[in-house]
Amino acid sequence: MTVPLLEVSGVGKRFGKLTVLEDVSFSLAPGEALGVVGPNGAGKSTLLNVVAGVLPADGGRVVLDGTDVTRTDAAARCRGGIGRSYQVPRPFGGMTVFENALVAASFGAGLRGRAAADAAFAALVTAGLDRQADTPAGTLRLLDRKRLELARALATGPRLVLLDEIAGGLTEAEVPALVETVRQLGREGVAVVWIEHVVHALVAVVTRLMCLTYGKVLAVGDPQAVLADPQVIEVYLGTTMAGDDPGLGDAA
Protein backbone atom coordinates (compact mmCIF):
# COMPACT_ATOMS: atom_id res chain seq x y z
CA MET A 1 0.00 0.00 0.00
CA THR A 2 1.32 3.50 -0.86
CA VAL A 3 2.06 5.64 2.19
CA PRO A 4 0.07 8.89 1.86
CA LEU A 5 2.27 11.93 1.34
CA LEU A 6 0.02 13.95 3.62
CA GLU A 7 -2.42 12.80 6.28
CA VAL A 8 -4.52 15.37 8.09
CA SER A 9 -6.53 13.78 10.92
CA GLY A 10 -9.14 15.42 13.08
CA VAL A 11 -7.59 18.88 12.81
CA GLY A 12 -9.20 21.72 14.74
CA LYS A 13 -8.41 25.43 14.96
CA ARG A 14 -9.95 28.22 17.02
CA PHE A 15 -9.36 31.95 17.07
CA GLY A 16 -10.57 32.89 20.57
CA LYS A 17 -14.16 31.71 20.74
CA LEU A 18 -14.42 31.30 16.96
CA THR A 19 -14.04 27.69 15.81
CA VAL A 20 -12.58 27.92 12.30
CA LEU A 21 -11.69 24.26 11.70
CA GLU A 22 -13.38 21.28 13.31
CA ASP A 23 -12.35 17.65 12.91
CA VAL A 24 -10.95 18.10 9.39
CA SER A 25 -9.46 14.91 7.92
CA PHE A 26 -8.15 14.08 4.47
CA SER A 27 -5.14 12.43 2.90
CA LEU A 28 -3.17 12.95 -0.26
CA ALA A 29 -1.10 10.51 -2.29
CA PRO A 30 2.27 11.52 -3.79
CA GLY A 31 1.68 13.58 -6.93
CA GLU A 32 -2.08 13.84 -6.32
CA ALA A 33 -3.99 17.13 -6.72
CA LEU A 34 -6.80 17.98 -4.30
CA GLY A 35 -9.03 21.01 -4.84
CA VAL A 36 -10.61 22.89 -1.94
CA VAL A 37 -13.75 24.99 -2.32
CA GLY A 38 -16.21 26.53 0.09
CA PRO A 39 -17.88 29.81 0.96
CA ASN A 40 -15.88 32.83 2.12
CA GLY A 41 -14.76 32.32 5.70
CA ALA A 42 -15.16 28.52 5.55
CA GLY A 43 -11.62 28.05 6.88
CA LYS A 44 -9.81 27.15 3.65
CA SER A 45 -6.80 29.45 4.05
CA THR A 46 -6.60 28.57 7.74
CA LEU A 47 -6.42 24.90 6.76
CA LEU A 48 -3.47 25.60 4.44
CA ASN A 49 -1.78 27.57 7.22
CA VAL A 50 -2.21 24.67 9.64
CA VAL A 51 -0.81 22.20 7.08
CA ALA A 52 2.13 24.53 6.32
CA GLY A 53 2.82 25.09 10.04
CA VAL A 54 2.19 28.84 9.75
CA LEU A 55 -0.52 28.35 12.41
CA PRO A 56 -0.47 25.64 15.10
CA ALA A 57 -3.42 23.23 15.14
CA ASP A 58 -5.46 23.15 18.35
CA GLY A 59 -6.18 19.46 17.87
CA GLY A 60 -5.56 16.60 15.50
CA ARG A 61 -2.47 15.58 13.57
CA VAL A 62 -0.59 16.52 10.42
CA VAL A 63 1.61 13.71 9.10
CA LEU A 64 3.99 14.27 6.18
CA ASP A 65 5.37 11.18 4.50
CA GLY A 66 4.86 9.11 7.67
CA THR A 67 6.40 11.71 10.02
CA ASP A 68 4.21 13.55 12.52
CA VAL A 69 4.92 17.26 11.87
CA THR A 70 2.04 18.63 13.95
CA ARG A 71 4.41 20.35 16.39
CA THR A 72 7.06 21.48 13.91
CA ASP A 73 7.25 25.04 12.64
CA ALA A 74 6.75 26.36 9.10
CA ALA A 75 10.49 26.51 8.33
CA ALA A 76 10.96 22.85 9.24
CA ARG A 77 7.92 21.81 7.21
CA CYS A 78 9.23 23.79 4.25
CA ARG A 79 12.55 21.94 4.46
CA GLY A 80 10.50 18.74 4.81
CA GLY A 81 8.87 19.40 1.44
CA ILE A 82 5.83 21.66 1.90
CA GLY A 83 5.74 24.79 -0.30
CA ARG A 84 3.09 27.47 0.21
CA SER A 85 1.77 30.24 -2.04
CA TYR A 86 -0.32 33.08 -0.69
CA GLN A 87 -3.67 34.49 -1.84
CA VAL A 88 -2.18 37.98 -2.05
CA PRO A 89 1.18 37.78 -3.85
CA ARG A 90 3.91 39.35 -1.76
CA PRO A 91 7.16 39.32 -3.69
CA PHE A 92 10.14 41.42 -2.68
CA GLY A 93 9.29 44.20 -5.13
CA GLY A 94 12.78 45.71 -5.24
CA MET A 95 14.39 42.39 -6.19
CA THR A 96 14.35 40.74 -9.58
CA VAL A 97 12.17 37.73 -10.33
CA PHE A 98 15.26 35.49 -10.13
CA GLU A 99 16.38 36.97 -6.81
CA ASN A 100 12.93 36.32 -5.36
CA ALA A 101 13.15 32.66 -6.36
CA LEU A 102 16.73 32.53 -5.05
CA VAL A 103 15.62 33.75 -1.61
CA ALA A 104 13.07 30.92 -1.52
CA ALA A 105 15.68 28.33 -2.58
CA SER A 106 18.21 29.66 -0.05
CA PHE A 107 16.05 30.25 3.00
CA GLY A 108 13.22 27.81 2.25
CA ALA A 109 15.18 24.81 1.00
CA GLY A 110 18.48 25.73 2.73
CA LEU A 111 20.41 25.52 -0.55
CA ARG A 112 23.62 27.47 -1.19
CA GLY A 113 25.59 28.74 -4.17
CA ARG A 114 25.12 26.95 -7.47
CA ALA A 115 22.52 24.53 -6.09
CA ALA A 116 20.32 27.44 -4.94
CA ALA A 117 20.69 29.23 -8.29
CA ASP A 118 19.83 26.06 -10.21
CA ALA A 119 16.75 25.38 -8.06
CA ALA A 120 15.62 28.99 -8.45
CA PHE A 121 15.99 28.95 -12.22
CA ALA A 122 14.30 25.55 -12.58
CA ALA A 123 11.34 26.90 -10.58
CA LEU A 124 11.10 29.90 -12.93
CA VAL A 125 11.10 27.57 -15.95
CA THR A 126 8.28 25.43 -14.49
CA ALA A 127 6.28 28.53 -13.59
CA GLY A 128 6.85 30.02 -17.08
CA LEU A 129 8.80 33.04 -15.81
CA ASP A 130 12.35 32.27 -16.90
CA ARG A 131 12.33 34.91 -19.63
CA GLN A 132 11.53 37.54 -17.01
CA ALA A 133 14.25 36.43 -14.61
CA ASP A 134 15.87 39.88 -14.60
CA THR A 135 12.64 41.86 -14.34
CA PRO A 136 12.08 43.73 -11.04
CA ALA A 137 9.29 41.80 -9.27
CA GLY A 138 7.51 45.02 -8.37
CA THR A 139 6.77 45.74 -12.05
CA LEU A 140 5.12 42.38 -12.89
CA ARG A 141 1.49 42.20 -14.05
CA LEU A 142 -0.93 40.14 -11.98
CA LEU A 143 -0.59 36.85 -13.92
CA ASP A 144 3.19 36.99 -13.56
CA ARG A 145 2.96 37.89 -9.87
CA LYS A 146 0.84 34.74 -9.44
CA ARG A 147 3.44 32.78 -11.38
CA LEU A 148 6.14 34.19 -9.15
CA GLU A 149 4.18 33.04 -6.08
CA LEU A 150 4.18 29.57 -7.60
CA ALA A 151 7.88 29.77 -8.51
CA ARG A 152 8.80 30.83 -4.98
CA ALA A 153 6.92 27.82 -3.62
CA LEU A 154 8.59 25.52 -6.19
CA ALA A 155 12.08 26.88 -5.50
CA THR A 156 11.90 25.33 -2.04
CA GLY A 157 11.92 21.89 -3.72
CA PRO A 158 8.52 20.78 -2.43
CA ARG A 159 6.84 17.40 -2.67
CA LEU A 160 3.61 19.18 -1.75
CA VAL A 161 2.55 22.64 -2.89
CA LEU A 162 -0.27 24.54 -1.20
CA LEU A 163 -1.89 27.02 -3.59
CA ASP A 164 -4.24 29.74 -2.34
CA GLU A 165 -6.43 31.27 -5.05
CA ILE A 166 -3.72 31.68 -7.64
CA ALA A 167 -6.30 32.08 -10.45
CA GLY A 168 -8.22 34.84 -8.64
CA GLY A 169 -8.23 38.13 -10.52
CA LEU A 170 -6.91 36.67 -13.78
CA THR A 171 -8.74 37.13 -17.07
CA GLU A 172 -10.42 34.08 -18.64
CA ALA A 173 -7.73 34.12 -21.33
CA GLU A 174 -4.97 33.87 -18.72
CA VAL A 175 -6.43 30.96 -16.72
CA PRO A 176 -5.59 28.04 -19.11
CA ALA A 177 -1.85 28.77 -19.03
CA LEU A 178 -1.89 28.71 -15.24
CA VAL A 179 -3.92 25.50 -15.24
CA GLU A 180 -1.33 23.92 -17.52
CA THR A 181 1.45 24.98 -15.15
CA VAL A 182 -0.30 23.37 -12.18
CA ARG A 183 -0.93 20.23 -14.25
CA GLN A 184 2.80 20.09 -14.97
CA LEU A 185 3.50 19.87 -11.23
CA GLY A 186 1.56 16.61 -11.08
CA ARG A 187 3.58 15.25 -14.01
CA GLU A 188 6.71 16.07 -12.02
CA GLY A 189 5.35 14.12 -9.05
CA VAL A 190 4.55 17.18 -6.90
CA ALA A 191 1.30 16.88 -4.95
CA VAL A 192 -0.99 19.91 -4.83
CA VAL A 193 -3.68 21.22 -2.51
CA TRP A 194 -5.36 24.09 -4.38
CA ILE A 195 -7.94 26.47 -2.92
CA GLU A 196 -9.76 28.21 -5.74
CA HIS A 197 -13.03 30.00 -6.41
CA VAL A 198 -12.45 29.73 -10.18
CA VAL A 199 -13.96 26.25 -10.12
CA HIS A 200 -13.50 25.41 -13.79
CA ALA A 201 -9.75 25.95 -13.42
CA LEU A 202 -9.71 23.67 -10.41
CA VAL A 203 -11.65 20.79 -11.93
CA ALA A 204 -9.40 20.89 -15.00
CA VAL A 205 -6.54 19.73 -12.78
CA VAL A 206 -7.65 18.05 -9.56
CA THR A 207 -8.60 14.41 -9.16
CA ARG A 208 -10.46 15.02 -5.90
CA LEU A 209 -12.42 17.96 -4.58
CA MET A 210 -13.19 18.88 -0.98
CA CYS A 211 -15.88 21.34 0.09
CA LEU A 212 -15.47 23.03 3.46
CA THR A 213 -18.20 24.95 5.24
CA TYR A 214 -18.01 26.46 8.72
CA GLY A 215 -14.68 24.69 9.17
CA LYS A 216 -16.03 21.20 8.49
CA VAL A 217 -15.65 18.88 5.52
CA LEU A 218 -19.04 18.85 3.83
CA ALA A 219 -18.04 16.61 0.94
CA VAL A 220 -14.88 15.12 -0.54
CA GLY A 221 -14.38 12.89 -3.56
CA ASP A 222 -14.77 12.88 -7.32
CA PRO A 223 -14.95 16.56 -8.43
CA GLN A 224 -18.09 16.19 -10.54
CA ALA A 225 -19.86 14.24 -7.78
CA VAL A 226 -18.95 16.89 -5.19
CA LEU A 227 -20.16 19.70 -7.48
CA ALA A 228 -23.43 17.84 -8.00
CA ASP A 229 -23.95 17.25 -4.26
CA PRO A 230 -27.16 19.10 -3.25
CA GLN A 231 -25.57 20.29 0.03
CA VAL A 232 -22.56 21.72 -1.84
CA ILE A 233 -24.88 23.47 -4.26
CA GLU A 234 -26.85 24.91 -1.36
CA VAL A 235 -23.95 26.21 0.74
CA TYR A 236 -21.46 27.14 -1.97
CA LEU A 237 -22.48 27.03 -5.60
CA GLY A 238 -25.99 28.33 -4.95
CA THR A 239 -24.76 31.39 -3.11
CA THR A 240 -21.93 32.15 -5.53
CA MET A 241 -24.25 31.74 -8.50
CA ALA A 242 -26.58 34.27 -6.92
CA GLY A 243 -23.75 36.73 -6.38
CA ASP A 244 -20.14 36.37 -7.52
CA ASP A 245 -19.17 34.59 -10.66
CA PRO A 246 -17.68 31.26 -9.51
CA GLY A 247 -16.20 30.72 -12.97
CA LEU A 248 -17.89 27.37 -13.29
CA GLY A 249 -17.76 27.23 -17.07
CA ASP A 250 -18.68 23.71 -18.18
CA ALA A 251 -17.83 22.17 -14.84
CA ALA A 252 -21.22 21.98 -13.16
| Interface contacts to ligand ATP, rule CB under 6 A | 15, 18, 20, 38, 40-46
Specify the residue, 124 or 150, whose C-beta has the smaller distance to ligand ATP. 150
Beta carbon of residue 82, minimum distance to ligand ATP (angstroms, whole number): 17
For ligand ATP, give the closer residue by CB, 24 or 204. Answer: 24
Work out how close the CB of 175 gets to ligand ATP at its nearest, in angstroms, rounded to a whole number.
18
Of 146, 142, 152, give the one whose Cα is nearest residue 166. 146
To the nearest whole angstrom, how small is the minimum distance from the Cβ of residue 218 to ligand ATP?
Answer: 12
Whole-angstrom Cα distance, residue 158 to residue 14?
A: 28
Closest CB 36 distance from ligand ATP, rounded Å: 8
**b/e code 100-120 from CB counts within 10 Å (16+ = b):** bbbbbbbebbebeeeebbebb
CB 196 to ligand ATP: min, Å: 10
Nearer to ligand ATP, 98 or 200 (CB): 200
Beta carbons of 175 and 167 less than 8 angstroms apart: yes
Task: Give CA angle at 61 (58, 65), nearest 5°.
Answer: 145
Q: Specify the pairing of strand 59-64 against strand 191-195.
A: unpaired
Q: Rounded to an integer, what distance in angstroms lies between the CA atom of residue 129 and that of residue 137? A: 11
> Please, which residue, 37 or 150, has the CB nearer to ligand ATP?
37
Q: Distance between CA atoms of 104 and 90, rounded to whole angstroms? A: 12
Q: Give the shortest CB-5-to-ligand ATP separation in angstroms.
A: 22
CB of 12 or CB of 41, closer to ligand ATP: 41
Q: How many CA atoms lie within 13 A of 8 on its CB side?
A: 24
Taking the least distance from each CB to ligand ATP, the nearer of 54 and 122 is 54
Q: Which is nearer to ligand ATP, 25 or 139 (CB)?
A: 25
**Minimal distance, residue 35 CB to ligand ATP, in Å:** 13
